[in-house]
Amino acid sequence: MAGYEVVHVAVATLDIPEPDIIKKAATIVNKDPYQTRLLLSGGLPRLIAHYPGMREAESTAQNLRDLGLVAFVCQNSELRKPSKVFTALTAEFLEGEAVFRDKGGQSKRIAYSDVFLILEGIMQTATEGETTITRKEINWGATLLTGGFPVSRTVKERVNGATVREEPLVRLYNRESAEPIVQMSQHGMAYSFLGARIAPSSAANFNTVVAKLQELFPQAIFDDRLMKSSKSGIPSPRALDDLELNCKLLYLYYKTKSGLS
């Protein structure tokens, strides 16, 4: 059918709703209460229902809002569209605005009053390669010579597998678009602009930058729930896509919430 596109309904709650609310929400989205309870837990926005058109999705979202939930709709193409991110290498904090510059020398000026949302999260990537692990094992020959007193030795072993890299990042958003206007990552910045506040650790410097952003953009909402690492330790091939999805859903959630209030 021409013009067909999946439209999602998303909802998020900071606390697990009362059983009565869960039961009513389950009826609205045509799911069992247990499954609905899982979807409404965790705090992050979740896609809870999917429709072939905007009218049905909007109707469901409104019914969920009538229950006191923050619900919103989003088209599949909007969620899956790759983000064009301006990644800053340095920053300059001036009177009334900040200037960010990337590796290519391009700059972006942002007024302190223009930032709507600041998201801090963990970007996970996995690379295949060979690594060396160190382990302890019993040296049985030396143990026998000591009359049975355990003697250990250090063994180095090369193993093949995925190496996980976790890197904190922070993104700034305005009210006009779900695309971030600026992104900064812990290992992607030159911290000389911090001057006397620069520390030997990139982690400490990154935290200083995040704190400075919160100070300079006081009107912006700050959310760091995406800082939680993957429980499995090994990100899936879609880990970066999941980060992008969660960032967009959080943006739409806060924009909807601010509009409702």
Cα 164 from chain centroid (whole Å): 16
Categorize the per-residue pLDDT at 1 as very low, low, confident or very high, splitting at 50, 70 and 90: very low
**Burial of 145 (C-beta count, 10 Å sphere; 0-12/13-18/19+):** exposed
- Render pLDDT for 159-197 as a digit per residue (tens, 0 to 9): 665 666 789 999 999 999 999 999 999 999 999 999 999
Q: Is 77 helix (H, G, I), strand (E, B) or coil?
A: helix
Overall fold of domain 90-127+162-236: PH-domain like (2.30.29)
CATH 3.30.1390 domain locations along the chain: 7-80
CATH 2.30.29 domain locations along the chain: 90-127+162-236
CB 108 within 8 A of CB 100: yes
- Taking residues 20-37, what's their average pLDDT? 93
- Taking residues 221-243, what's their average pLDDT? 67
Categorize the per-residue pLDDT at 233 as very low, low, confident or very high, splitting at 50, 70 and 90: very low
Can you give the pLDDT at residue 241? 73
Can you give the pLDDT at residue 234? 44
Categorize the per-residue pLDDT at 80 as very low, low, confident or very high, splitting at 50, 70 and 90: confident
Q: What average pLDDT does the structure give for the chain?
A: 85
pLDDT higher than 50, residue 74 = yes
- Render pLDDT for 111-164 as a digit per residue (tens, 0 to 9): 999 999 999 999 887 666 566 767 666 666 665 666 556 667 777 777 665 666
Beta bridge partners of 73: 9
- Taking residues 238-248, what's their average pLDDT? 78
- Taking residues 205-213, what's their average pLDDT? 96
- Render pLDDT for 53-67 as a digit per residue (tens, 0 to 9): 999 999 999 999 999
Helices and strands per DSSP (H, E), number in the chain: 7, 10
Q: Which stretch, 42-51, 210-219, 238-247, has highest mean pLDDT?
A: 210-219
Q: What percent of the chain has pLDDT over 70?
A: 80
pLDDT higher than 80, residue 3 = no
Per-residue tokens: 6:
């999946």
Distances (CA, A) of 203 to 58, 118, 199, 223: 43, 18, 9, 18
- Class of 7-80 in CATH: alpha beta
Q: What percent of the chain has pLDDT over 90?
A: 63
Q: What stretches of 174-215 adopt beta strand conformation (E)?
A: 182-185
